[in-house]
Structure formats: C-alpha cells, structure tokens
Amino acid sequence: MAEPSRLRPEDRADFEAVLHHAMNTTDLRGALGADAAGRVAAHLRAHALAQADDIATAADEPYRSYLAVRRAARREARSLRGPGRLLPALAVLTPLVSGTSAAALLLLGGLLHLAGALGPLPGSLVAAGWTLAPVAALSGLVTLAAVLHTAPRRRGAPPAADQVEHARLVWRQELLDRGMLPHLRRHLMPHPETAITPCSPPDTLTPCPARAREDRTPCSD
C-alpha cells in the first residue's frame, strides 16, 4: 500500500481555509460558544494545524489526484513556453513569408519588365516568384489541415486550469467531510454527554470534573 502523501507547503493555505470553514459549522460553533474566552477554539485550531498531515490522510486519494492534475498542468504550461512552440510558429509563418515573398518578387520583376530593364534580373525575379508561389500554397494547405485536425480535440477537453480547480475543490470537500470535521468533533466532544465549559484549561479539551465544580476549586493542569 502506498504511503500517504504529505501535505505540500503550497497547500497549507487550503488546509487552513478548510479548518476555518469547519470551525464555523453549526454544531462546532455552538459547542465552542460555551467558552467565552475562546481558549478551547484556539487550542483546537492549534492542534489541528499541528496534526495537518494526519488529518489530510483521510482525503489522500483525492489529494493524489489533485497533485497529479496540477503537475500535468504545470508541464503543459512549461511546454507552451519552451522549444515545442517553435514548430507551430514556423508552420504559421512559412506560408505567410513565402506568399509575401512570391508576390513581392513577381511584382518587382513585372515592373522591371515594364520599365524595359536590361539583363537577366527581371526574368530571375519572376522565376523566383513563381517558385515560391506553390511553396506558399502547399504550406498554407498543410497548416489549415493541422488546425482543422486539432481544433475539435482542443474543444473537447476542458482547459488545464479548470481541471486543476475542479480537482482542488474535490480534495477540499473530501478533506472537510472525511478528515477535518471528524477530527474536530472527536477532540472537542470525546463523549456525547459532555460539554465544554469555560473552566477547561487551554491544554485540555475535557470538561471539569464534577468534584472540582462542587468544591469550587480550579481544574488541575
């Protein structure tokens, strides 16, 4: 069995956002409201942050999926900025450059012919223009075919950013439902019949013993 993934530093902010959301759910907010000083809430939050990796293991599978999608998106972004963009750029520029050059050579050669220029230059320019013309036409057809072939596939797949965001939201929801809320409820209310009282010291989440309340003595640390 694969070892659970440790929470990445860049995902700590998401973990804290899920923790904040969990502590504001109705049942936890009501239980924490019994402690007017807020010591129990502070302790519970600090404990959850310290146990972040253990809590996150409950949502390990969606977290692995999120990491995989995020890595793939980053690789794709790097490839778009890298040498892989050279060939598509050449495919677009080749018909433009060759077509423009062919037109310019044919126009210049024709003008020289009309001007009665002597020598082989006018004929050479016209011949070069007619040589470049089919190159421009052929490369244009190839580029058009490539665009028509790839366009349906690009429309069929959601953008990488949308995939990453969807995987992130799935992980956060699983972290909340399967990890954060059970952890907080378990440490806040170890027994269903007990309730947090304001005299609970900050280093414990258990209520004061009955004898301590009767004797009106402070809870021991």
**DSSP-H helix ranges across the chain:** 12-23, 26-32, 39-50, 52-56, 60-81, 86-114, 121-156, 160-174, 181-188, 210-215
Phi, psi of 118 (to 5 degrees): -90, 165
pLDDT digits (tens, 9 = 90+) for 10-53: 999 999 999 999 999 999 998 888 888 889 999 999 999 999 99
Does residue 215 sit in helix, strand or coil? Answer: helix
DSSP state of 115: T
Q: How far apart are the first and last CA of the chain?
A: 41
Q: Is the pLDDT of residue 8 over 60?
A: yes
Q: Which two tokens stand for residue 215?
A: 């004797």
Domains in the chain: boundaries: 11-203
Global pTM value: 0.56
